[in-house]
Structures are given as structure tokens and as C-alpha cells.
Amino acid sequence: MDYIHINQNDFLHRKHKKHREEDVAICVCKYDANDPDSACGETCLNVLTSTECTPGYCPCGVCCNNQRFQRCEYAKTKLFDTGCRGWGLLADENIKAGRFIIEYCGEVISLKDAERRAQAYETLGIKDAYIISLNAYESIDATRKGSLARFINHSCQPNCETRKWTVLGEIRVGIFAKHDISMGTELTYDYNFEWYGGAKVRCLCGAACCSGFLGAKSRGFQEDTYLWEDDDDRYSVEKVPLYDSAEDEPLSKFLESTDCFNQEFVSNGKDDYSSVMDVDVESNHLLHSNALSIVPLDSFSMNGVDDSHEKTILSSEDSQVAYGQRNVMISPIQSNIVCQNSHIGTVPVLKKKLKRFPMRSTKRFSQKAVDAKFVAQLLADKEAQDEILSCEQMKNEAASNLEHLYNEIRPAIEEHERDSQDSVATSVAEKWIEASCLKLKTEFDLHFSIIKNIVSNPVRKKRDIGQEDEKRKEEEHQKAAAVPIEGGSF
Ligand SMILES: C[S@@+](CC[C@H](N)C(=O)[O-])C[C@H]1O[C@@H](n2cnc3c(N)ncnc32)[C@H](O)[C@@H]1O
């Protein structure tokens, strides 16, 4: 897909913030000609707070080393064809750890628009996702306009990272080297915390610690992910045991007669997350990453790119020439290369035949609710019943505790997100993490207890339960009728 090359963010839903004089951060560095690092190096107050110096205000004047975003002081990079992951960006020089490599530029849009756009792109069949998070309210979309940073692929073991800097009053996202990177190496960063792609995309980074899917941990649209179903390896999951329906789940087969896993979780406005069992298991660990061999970069010749795709190789030098001539059109760029499969080894894991959807239709992952009370009823053993019910109670308590905590810390979170670019105070985050972990643990305990007890105890038939219930009601009725009314004398 064509895109417009830019080296500065384009603000769509608002104007660039006015950088008022009283807001300019002025450092106390003194330039010493014998020590180049004295001009806003590591110890500069602005550098320490990830803020760029403002031209005209910095005591080091033109010698200031802390205006890298503003001056587009990018490392040399080159576009290349990764084969299976589309285009990628590689280092075209040796890059030292910590170095600013390139700014992630694009259109700055509101969170709502990001959501709308992500869905629209998906509908249009645009599978490469370029939206990243800027702050709590805004995102950067590099789909239609962007810098070369839009071509940096994800890796679960990346050599780069994103960092947010304040430049002339605005937050900007830069890609920085995590460690020394040698020339010719592909640049990658971990999308997990920035990922706003709607589609569920299988990760082909090949790292031993691969989490299986892009953005598996991102906060963005994670609860609303979709799976592309076509012949592209990134979007098919045949080698991953992913259970996406009640019939697929081995446990549900066992419980087929009971119906207890066959209820779709339906939000009734007052979402009872406490009863949600997410069957979209992060079973990705079963994806044997060593079976995926990514085409080694050193065997890739830049000149040997398959010409049939008529792709343009654009180096960062080209893009720096383009700096000053903003909005240069790069065409034609074909970012979606059909994967050949040839480098993908076979993975000896449970194979599940997925239903194929015509026209790249998308399929929503559903969340299944587990009715713990109903499951408990199915068990003949009273102890097993009690265990499940007590686990459910603990899970409900943990969920409501988390909800209360959220209400308590919401002002702190919102306040912090308004004023700062990063996360909330550690103490708040710690409380939140602790409560979240407890909720997850209690959910796990409940599901574990259900599985354990169902596997090790006799299960009553639904019909029998009905009959027993009837019998019990009848007995209770008779008992009640037999009890003499207190004080009554006829
Ligand atoms: C920001 S773009 C990166 C550039 C992209 N490769 C291209 O050709 O334009 C993100 C998209 O690249 C692909 N991608 C990036 N990293 C990947 C990975 N580790 N495994 C599979 N696909 C990846 C996915 O399609 C993703 O939506």
C-alpha cells in the first residue's frame, strides 16, 4: 500500500500544542569546547527527564546535543524484504547501545479514531498494522503517512525499544537501540505495549521466548481481537492448538452433556467478568519457535530483492534528503508479501482444522462463561461441590476488590495520564498489579478445581439432577406440611 513519507507528526484532531515560554525547560549545561559531551550530554537535566532542549533557549546554543528529534538525527537504515513478515528495516551502520535511531512519525489521532481506523483497515483487508499508542488519549497512525520507522517489525527478543520524549511541548516516540547493533542486522522492537492492531497476527520473530502473537500483552484492543483466515502464515493458526469454540475445547467434550460451557458470555451492561472463562488460551507457548527459521539477514542480498514485486528500496539517507520536502510520496510499496511457507518447519503440536472463511472474513473469539454453581450441582460429592463454590466465592471477591481498587485509584491514573507520558506511580501500580494477579489466581484456582473435581468425581446426569431436585422439593414440601404451626390449636 502506498504511503506518504513524513518526518514530523501530522496532527489531525487538534493543532500542535503552543509551546509557551514559561513551559520551556532550560538546562544548566555549560559548553566546554574540550568536552563535547558537556553540551547537553547524559547529565543534562533535560536529557535526564527525556525532554529535548528548545532552540534559542539552550545555554549551549547550536552545540546542544539534545535536539535529535528536531534535527532528525537518525541512524542510517535501509528497507529490506523479510519474506514472511513483509518489509523490514535494517541497520545500515553499526549502532551503539542507547542511540536514537529514528522517530515513529504518523498521523496523531484520538483514541476513538484509532479504534475506528483499526476496524476500517481490517474491513479493507489491510493486514499490516501501523497504529501505536502515544499517550492515554492519542495514537500515532503511520498507515497513510509515516516515517521509515513504520517498517520496523516486532520481535519478542528485540534489539530496539520505543521511548517517549517531550519535544517542544509535544510527546514524540523514538526508536532507540537497546544494545549495540551491527550493520546489516534487522531492527526490531517489542510491539507488546504499543500494539493497536485489530487482527490477531501470529508472530514469526523466531525468538526462543516468542509469545506467539503480536501484541499479546498490549492493552489496546486486546479484548477484541480477530483472526484473519487465509493462506498467509501470519494469519493462520493451523500449527497452534487454539481452541476457539466450545466443541474444540477438550474439557467441553467431556461436559458436552451438561451444557455448562456452552453459554456464550453475554454482556448485560453490568459485565460480570467474574464468570468469564477466556478460552483463547495463551497456548502460544506451544508454538515451537525453533521450528521457525526466519531467513537470515546476512544471506539476504539487498540487490537480490525479487524485482517482480517492483519494490522501492529506500534508505534513511534518501529519507533525510526528503526532510525539508515533507510529504514525499513513496510508490509503489507493496508491504504485503504473500508468504511462501517454505521456511516454516512443521511443528508437532495438536493440529486443528479451522473453518475457512471466504473473502478473508474475520472471526471473533468468543469468551465462554463457566457456571460454577451448575458444575457443582453436577457432582455427587459434597466436598467437591463445596470446594468449587468456595473457589467461586474467592474469585468473585477478588474481582470486586479489583473493581473497588480501580475506582479508588482512577483519579490518580487519570491525573497522571493527563500530565505525564508514562505510567502511574509505582505504589499505585503495585497495588493494581497485586489485585489483578489475585484475581487471575482465583480464576485459575476455580477452573483448576472444576477440572480436577470433574475428572476425579462421578458426574450426575442432568436428567438425574432434575429428578433429584423434584424429589428433594417434594420431600421439603412434605416436611413443611408435617410441621405443626407454632402455637396453633385447632
Ligand atoms: C508496523 S508494520 C511493520 C512493517 C511491515 N512488515 C510492512 O511490510 O509494512 C507491522 C506489520 O508487520 C507484520 N509483522 C511485524 N512483525 C512481525 C512478526 N514478528 N511476525 C509476523 N508479522 C510481523 C505484521 O503484519 C504487522 O501488522
Mean pLDDT (whole number) for 37-63: 94
Q: How many CB atoms lie within 10 A of CB 139?
A: 24
CA of 191 to the centre of ligand 1 (A): 10
Q: Residues 6 or more apart from 275 whose CB is under 8 A from it?
A: 265, 369, 370, 371, 372
Please compute the mean of the pLDDT values over residues 452-462 and round it to a whole number: 79
Average pLDDT of span 58-66 = 96
Tell me the average pLDDT across 345-364. 37
Q: Where are the alpha helices (DSSP H) in 324-381?
A: 372-378
Q: Whose CA is nearest to atom 11 of ligand 1?
A: 128
- Asked if 226 and 200 touch (Cβ cutoff 8 Å), the reply is yes
Averaged pLDDT for residues 364-388: 76
How sure is the predictor about 191, in pLDDT bands with cuts at 50, 70 and 90?
A: confident
The position carrying cell 534559542 is: 56
Q: Which residue has the cell 506511580?
A: 425
CA of 132 to the centre of ligand 1 (A): 13
| pLDDT at residue 45 is higher than 70 | yes
Residues with Cβ within 8 Å of 8's Cβ and at least 6 positions away in sequence, in order, are 105, 326
Overall average pLDDT of the 241-257 stretch: 35
- Which atom of ligand 1 approaches the CA of 191 most closely? 16
pLDDT score of 242 more than 70: no
Between 167-171, 259-263, 356-360, 376-380, the lowest mean confidence (pLDDT) is in 259-263
Closest atom of ligand 1 to 203 CA is: 20
Give the mean pLDDT of the chain: 70
Largest CA distance in the chain: 114
| Ligand 1 atom with the shortest distance to the CA of 129 | 27
C-alpha cell at 325: 520536502
Q: Which residue has the higher pLDDT, 3 or 317?
A: 3
Least confident of 28-42, 171-185, 275-289, 470-484: 275-289
Side chain identity, residue 131: I
Ligand 1 atom with minimal separation from the 205 CA: 19
Query: What's the 203 CA to ligand 1 centre distance in angstroms?
Result: 9
The per-residue pLDDT for range 414-450, each reduced to its tens digit, is 655 554 444 456 666 777 788 889 989 998 999 999 8
Ligand 1 mean position to 345 CA, how many Å?
20
Cβ neighbors of 149 (< 8 A, separation 6 or more) are: 89, 101, 102, 103, 104, 105, 142, 175
With 0-12 CB in 10 A as exposed, 13-18 as middle and 19+ as buried, what is 181?
buried
The dihedrals phi and psi of 347, each to the nearest 5 degrees, come to -110, 120
Higher pLDDT, 249 or 18: 18
Rounded to the nearest angstrom, the distance between the alpha carbon of 479 and the centre of ligand 1 is: 70
Average pLDDT over residues 35-52: 92
Q: CA-CA distance, 218 to 198, in Å (whole number)?
A: 11
Proportion of the chain above pLDDT 70, given as a percent: 58
Question: Which residue of 82, 201, 289 sits with most ligand 1 atoms within 8 Å of its CB, as the best mutation to test the pocket?
Answer: 201
What's the pLDDT at 179? 96
pLDDT greater than 60 at residue 490 = no
Please name the residue whose Cα sits nearest to atom 23 of ligand 1.
Answer: 85
Q: What percent of the chain has pLDDT over 90?
A: 35
In this prediction, residue 233 carries a pLDDT of 54
Instruction: Among 5, 85, 202, say which to mutate for ligand 1: greatest number of ligand atoms within 8 Å of CB.
Output: 85
CA atoms of 38 and 101, how far apart (whole Å):
22
Q: Which of 264-273, 406-415, 456-465 has the lowest mean pLDDT?
A: 264-273
Centroid of ligand 1 to alpha carbon of 153 (angstroms): 5
**Rounded Cα gap, residues 43 and 65, in angstroms:** 12
SS3 (DSSP) at 267? coil
CATH 3.40.50.2020 fits 72-244+279-364, yes or no: no
Q: What is the pLDDT of residue 196?
A: 56
Ligand 1 is surrounded, with C-beta below 6 A, by 85-88, 127-130, 150-151, 153-155, 197, 201, 203-205, 214, 234, 335
Q: For the complex shown, is ipTM > 0.85?
A: yes
Q: What average pLDDT does the segment 447-462 reach?
A: 82
pLDDT score recorded for residue 220? 41
Highest mean pLDDT of the ranges 274-278, 341-345, 426-430, 436-440: 436-440
- CA-closest residue to ligand 1 atom 24: 128
Identify the pLDDT of residue 288.
Answer: 23
Is residue 43 helix, strand or coil?
Answer: coil
* The predicted structure's pLDDT at residue 213: 77
Q: Kindly write down the DSSP assignment for every residue of 124-178, as one continuous string.
A: HT--S--EEE-SSSEEEE-SSEE-GGGGPEE-SS-SEEEEEEEETTEEEEEEEES
Half-sphere exposure of 54 (CA within 13 A, CB side): 15
Calculate how far, in angstroms, residue 88's C-alpha sits from the geometric centre of ligand 1.
8
Work out which ligand 1 atom sits closest to the CA atom of 142.
Answer: 1
Instruction: Report whether pLDDT(285) > 60.
Output: no
